[in-house]
């Protein structure tokens, strides 16, 4: 009781300031807004997949590879560009010349800082003329060769270096020396000057280089596509910007449309819009002041703040109007409204913050940032809509009375005589007829739906951030200024997967312990690739690999003295030395093959890496499981790593994070509701009732994800805890209003009807506004944003329906249970007890 008196005293103080000193409140909030405005634009951006890979063991192993092995091709201050050539036969004389001329023109341009080029065309030219050292000399060799000489050189080049096949399409035919596609590689030196030109966030230092390369390569004719991380990074950025350019105007129009319907008054609409803008300003201003970079995941924050803010705003205005139509004055009406709503807003804020803050448990930094910013943004929204908006409303209505400015719409939503008011009590009708049966069926259905939804898969790929290969048809109906550019990355990626056995999907394994000079060390490494798993590319019973073994074999074919050294130490004549490995490594590192060898073995011979080619259509799970299987075959301590393995590890982390966040959010919000209703209303069991529609919402949301084949990814991985946060918003308003209306002398159905018509009307207005405003994200070009918008809109709709349909029957059962447990003894029972007491006294 002391706590109830104390919190009521604080609320009365706030009520007094809102009603009597609105100008002081407005001034204070405007000054705070000016302070937060300083932080706008100071946070920078962070995007792409690299922001999620910190603290992942597989990524740590990959970083070790980058630090210890990568010398030329993969060195941190270099980058590569792919030249993807297509045609009837890219191994014909004209097409070979096109590839060579493209690489020559790129190398001649100093702005591109080319340090190395490789291609099947160069290998063929060097086979024809082994003395050719420059691309110009290689072009002369191809020009002077006959078609039959070229065909023979193609076969010889691939026979000498089988790894060249990875650069040729699957339809490569050695007999006819033909293929329809090939990939050439250009390596650039990335200096500080080039890096600085790339910008921040999504930009890559290779973006300008590869865009310039596109112009140069187009001059040689034919069909050669320039592809690489620079172009991919540019489209990462463009797809987000284009999506926002489409979504934001549409969302603003829809939100304004429904706000006009909900408020029906220009002054109230202006106050609500200013409050929404202030909530966004405070949140992103705080980000800038705190130095938190804006990431793709934080795109979800504004829709969430809009959802909570619109709900708070409509509730505040609607509750105030309920008092005004009863004939109460401006200040008295607002005192009554805020007296109830500040408690309801506090409950919603507390539980919503707990729902979002549960994501702080995630091991992924961007998800933790999202949890922090969302939680802080919700607190800001509570302060703005709980204090600023009511004060602005009091000040505006007082001024309106003074100047006789007319009121346009003062009736609350959901009044008894309205069409909406007749529909809202549907849950009350269920509660009158068969509340217990309804709840039993509901619980069983929720369990079944939840078990179905538990089968949602997790996924983390670069494709999550890319646009679809074909632009959706509905884009044609938008103004030309809003239509996005044409994207190429997804189409190019799909082309590589369809036409090449392996692209950049190599799986790398690093050996972190063990001496590689022990006799038989290389043989044991090679044996690990025998009888390869299904996802690995199979070359006659052995996995296609690139390692120190393949470097030794390749150099032995080029140098007779080194070949003799290997043969003297090769027990089984398979080209893999068994003895005197220290001598073998020393000779190799003293040869022209040194740089290539140091890509696969450290100079102290204590660590090595092996790259295995995998099938392009193999799933992350298959590749990861098979890589770990092969790693277990090694005598040394081996760690499975590489791009695919890292992405699979991240998808596992996302799924685990979603589950842990869900559990924490459910337990945290449940405990909070039980405690808060116990302290403020003396009815702790109301907290349990409040959780029922939330459980239904989460189960339905998970089932929707599985049915629509939407996996947990970096955006949707937070959707379940978001569903809890938004679901609380709707159910807490109804439960708190019911607690205010219901007491021992009040009929439960009368209290419920008044609750759903009063609060339910405001809930309907906020639901329509936020579902359309957030749901418009489905038109975004970025698939990941579209999925998030769809699921967020679904969670709001499910929360609204569950609150109006599930809560009333649950509250009827709760009221009967409470009434039975606290029922007073009848008169007859009292008389019998009195007689028994008298007999005992005698």
pLDDT tens-digit series, residues 489-500: 888 888 887 888
Label each residue of 489-544 as H, E or C.
Answer: HHHHHHHHHHHCCCCCCCEEEEECCCCCCCCCHHHHHHHCCECCCCCECEECCEEC
Backbone angles phi, psi at 632, to 5 degrees: -70, -15
Q: What is the mean pLDDT of the chain?
A: 80
Q: Which of 501, 497, 570 is nearest to 532 (CA)?
A: 501
544 within 8 A of 610, measured Cβ to Cβ: no
Report helix, strand or coil for 83. Answer: strand
Matching residue, tokens 């004209």: 94
Task: Give the predicted TM-score (pTM) of the model.
Answer: 0.72
pLDDT in tens, 545-589: 888 888 888 888 888 888 899 888 888 888 889 888 889 989 988
Banded model confidence at residue 678, pLDDT cuts 50, 70, 90? confident
Establish how many alpha carbons lie within 13 A of residue 25's alpha carbon, considering only the half-sphere containing its beta carbon. 23
Banded model confidence at residue 191, pLDDT cuts 50, 70, 90? low
User: Mean of the pLDDT values across residues 529-551?
Assistant: 87
What own/partner pairs with CB < 8 Å and gap ≥ 24 does 583-588 have? 584/552, 585/516, 585/517, 587/562, 588/551, 588/552, 588/555, 588/562
- Return the DSSP state at 743: -
Alpha-carbon gap, residue 74 to 264, rounded angstroms: 62
771 within 8 A of 685, measured Cβ to Cβ: no
pLDDT score at 683? 82
pLDDT score at 195? 39
654 within 8 A of 364, measured Cβ to Cβ: yes
Alpha-carbon gap, residue 348 to 728, rounded angstroms: 6
Q: Which is higher by pLDDT, 403 or 708?
A: 708
Does residue 840 surpass a pLDDT of 70? no
End-to-end CA distance of the chain: 41
User: Mean of the pLDDT values across residues 473-485?
Assistant: 74
pLDDT score at 406? 62
E strand or H helix that includes residue 409: none
- Return the DSSP state at 179: -
Does residue 4 surpass a pLDDT of 50? yes
Q: What share of the chain is helix, strand, coil (3-state, %, to 5)?
A: 65, 5, 25
Q: How far is residue 594 CA from its own chain's centroid?
A: 42
Q: What percent of the chain has pLDDT over 70?
A: 85
Banded model confidence at residue 200, pLDDT cuts 50, 70, 90? very low
Residues in the chain: 842
Q: Which of 185, 179, 100, 205 is nearest to 143 (CA)?
A: 100
Banded model confidence at residue 51, pLDDT cuts 50, 70, 90? low
pLDDT score at 140? 92
pLDDT score at 418? 61
| CA dist list (Å): 617 to 503, 538, 613 | 11, 14, 12
CA angle, residues 671, 677, 680, in degrees to nearest 5: 130
Alpha-carbon gap, residue 576 to 833, rounded angstroms: 100
- Return the DSSP state at 386: I
pLDDT score at 192? 42
Does residue 46 surpass a pLDDT of 70? no
Two structure tokens written together for 497: 């997967």
pLDDT in tens, 781-835: 777 778 888 888 898 899 899 999 999 999 999 988 876 655 444 444 444 445 4
pLDDT in tens, 406-459: 666 555 555 555 666 677 888 888 988 889 999 999 999 999 999 998 888 877
Does residue 181 surpass a pLDDT of 90? yes
pLDDT in tens, 203-260: 577 888 888 999 999 998 889 999 988 888 887 777 777 777 777 787 788 878 878 8
Q: Which is higher by pLDDT, 406 or 473?
A: 473
Q: Which is higher by pLDDT, 144 or 308?
A: 144
Q: How many CB atoms lie within 10 A of CB 400?
A: 15
Report helix, strand or coil for 666. Answer: helix
User: Mean of the pLDDT values across residues 304-310?
Assistant: 82
Banded model confidence at residue 139, pLDDT cuts 50, 70, 90? very high
Can you name the residues that pair with 184 across neighbouring β-strands? 83
pLDDT in tens, 702-760: 999 999 988 887 777 777 777 777 777 788 878 888 888 887 667 888 888 888 887 88
User: Mean of the pLDDT values across residues 479-486?
Assistant: 73
Two structure tokens written together for 320: 């105030």
Q: What percent of the chain has pLDDT over 90?
A: 19
User: Mean of the pLDDT values across residues 479-493?
Assistant: 78
| Most confident segment among 562-576, 607-621, 762-776 | 562-576
Backbone angles phi, psi at 661, to 5 degrees: -60, -40
Does residue 388 surpass a pLDDT of 90? yes
170 within 8 A of 501, measured Cβ to Cβ: yes
Residues with Cβ within 8 Å of 325's Cβ and at least 6 positions away in sequence, in order, are 410, 411, 412
Two structure tokens written together for 288: 């800038």
138 within 8 A of 126, measured Cβ to Cβ: yes
Two structure tokens written together for 472: 């959706």
pLDDT in tens, 330-383: 888 888 888 878 887 888 888 888 877 887 877 777 778 888 888 899 999 999
Banded model confidence at residue 684, pLDDT cuts 50, 70, 90? confident
pLDDT score at 275? 93
């Amino acid at each position: 009781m002391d706590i109830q008196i104390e919190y009521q005293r604080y609320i009365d103080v706030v009520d007094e300031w809102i009603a009597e000193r609105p100008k002081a409140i407005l001034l204070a909030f405007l000054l705070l807004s000016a302070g937060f405005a300083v932080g706008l634009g100071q946070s920078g951006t962070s995007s792409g997949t690299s922001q999620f890979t910190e603290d992942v063991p597989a990524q740590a192993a990959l970083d070790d590879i980058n630090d210890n092995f990568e010398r030329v091709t993969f060195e941190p201050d270099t980058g590569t560009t792919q030249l993807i050539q297509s045609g009837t036969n890219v191994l014909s004389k004209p097409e070979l010349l096109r590839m060579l001329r493209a690489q020559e023109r790129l190398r001649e341009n100093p702005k591109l800082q080319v340090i190395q080029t490789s291609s099947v065309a160069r290998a063929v030219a060097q086979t024809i003329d082994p003395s050719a050292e420059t691309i110009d000399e290689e072009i002369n060799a191809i020009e002077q060769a006959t078609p039959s000489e070229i065909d023979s050189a193609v076969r010889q080049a691939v026979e000498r270096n089988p790894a060249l096949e990875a650069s040729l399409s699957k339809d490569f035919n050695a007999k006819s020396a033909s293929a329809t596609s090939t990939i050439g590689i250009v390596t650039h030196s990335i200096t500080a000057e080039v890096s600085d030109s790339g910008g921040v966030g999504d930009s890559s230092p290779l973006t300008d280089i590869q865009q310039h390369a596109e112009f140069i390569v187009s001059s040689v004719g034919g069909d050669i596509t320039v592809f690489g991380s620079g172009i991919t990074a540019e489209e990462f950025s463009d797809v987000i910007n284009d999506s926002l350019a489409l979504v934001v105007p549409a969302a603003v129009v829809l939100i304004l449309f429904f706000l006009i319907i909900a408020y029906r008054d220009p002054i109230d609409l202006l106050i609500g819009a200013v409050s929404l803008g202030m909530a966004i300003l405070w949140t992103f201003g705080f980000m800038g002041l705190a130095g938190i970079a804006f990431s793709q995941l934080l795109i979800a924050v504004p829709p969430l703040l809009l959802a909570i803010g619109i709900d708070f705003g409509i509730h505040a205005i609607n509750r105030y109007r309920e008092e005004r139509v009863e004939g109460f004055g401006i200040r008295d009406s607002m005192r009554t409204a805020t007296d109830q709503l500040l408690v309801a807003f506090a409950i919603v804020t507390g539980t919503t913050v707990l729902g979002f803050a549960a994501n702080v448990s995630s091991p992924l930094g961007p998800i933790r940032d999202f949890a922090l910013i969302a939680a802080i943004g919700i607190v800001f929204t509570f302060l703005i809509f709980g204090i600023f908006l009511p004060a602005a409303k009091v000040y505006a209505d007082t001024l309106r009375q003074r100047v006789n400015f007319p009121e346009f719409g003062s009736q609350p939503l959901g009044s008894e005589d309205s069409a909406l008011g007749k529909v809202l009590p549907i849950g009350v009708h269920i509660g009158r007829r068969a509340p217990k049966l309804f709840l039993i069926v509901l619980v069983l259905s929720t369990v079944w739906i939840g078990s179905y939804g538990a089968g949602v898969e997790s996924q983390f790929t670069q494709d999550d951030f890319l646009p679809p290969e074909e632009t959706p048809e509905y884009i044609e109906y938008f103004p030309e200024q809003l239509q996005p550019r044409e994207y190429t990355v997804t189409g190019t990626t799909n082309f590589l997967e369809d036409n090449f056995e392996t692209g950049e999907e190599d799986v790398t394994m690093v050996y972190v312990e063990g001496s590689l000079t022990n006799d038989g060390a290389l043989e044991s490494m090679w044996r690990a690739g025998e009888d390869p798993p299904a996802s690995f590319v199979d070359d006659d019973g052995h996995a296609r690999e690139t390692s120190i073994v393949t470097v030794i074999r390749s150099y032995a074919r080029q140098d007779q003295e080194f070949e003799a050294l290997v043969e003297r130490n090769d027990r089984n004549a398979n080209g893999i030395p068994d003895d005197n490995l220290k001598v073998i490594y020393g000779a190799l590192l003293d040869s022209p093959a040194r740089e290539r060898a140091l890509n696969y073995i450290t100079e102290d011979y204590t660590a090595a890496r092996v790259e295995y080619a995998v099938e392009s259509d193999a799933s992350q799970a298959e590749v990861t499981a098979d890589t770990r299987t092969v790693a277990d075959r090694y005598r040394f301590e081996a760690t499975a790593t590489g791009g695919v393995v890292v992405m699979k590890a991240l998808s596992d982390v996302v799924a685990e994070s979603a589950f842990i966040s869900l559990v924490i959010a459910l337990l945290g919000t449940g405990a909070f509701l039980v405690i808060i209703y116990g302290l403020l209303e003396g009815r702790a069991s109301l907290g349990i009732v409040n959780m029922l529609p939330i459980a239904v919402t989460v189960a339905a949301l998970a089932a929707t994800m599985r049915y629509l084949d939407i996996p947990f990814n970096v955006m949707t991985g937070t959707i379940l805890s978001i569903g809890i946060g938004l679901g609380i918003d709707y159910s807490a308003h109804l439960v708190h209003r019911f607690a205010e209306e219901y007491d021992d002398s009040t009929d439960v159905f009368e209290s419920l009807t008044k609750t759903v018509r009063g609060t339910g009307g405001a809930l309907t207005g906020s639901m329509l506004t936020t579902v359309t405003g957030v749901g418009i994200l489905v038109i975004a070009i970025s698939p990941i944003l579209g999925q998030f918008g769809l699921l967020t809109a679904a969670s709001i709709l499910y929360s609204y329906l569950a609150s109006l349909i599930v809560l009333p029957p649950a509250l009827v059962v709760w009221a009967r249970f409470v009434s039975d447990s606290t029922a007073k003894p009848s008169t007859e029972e009292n008389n019998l007890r009195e007689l028994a007491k008298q007999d005992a006294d005698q």
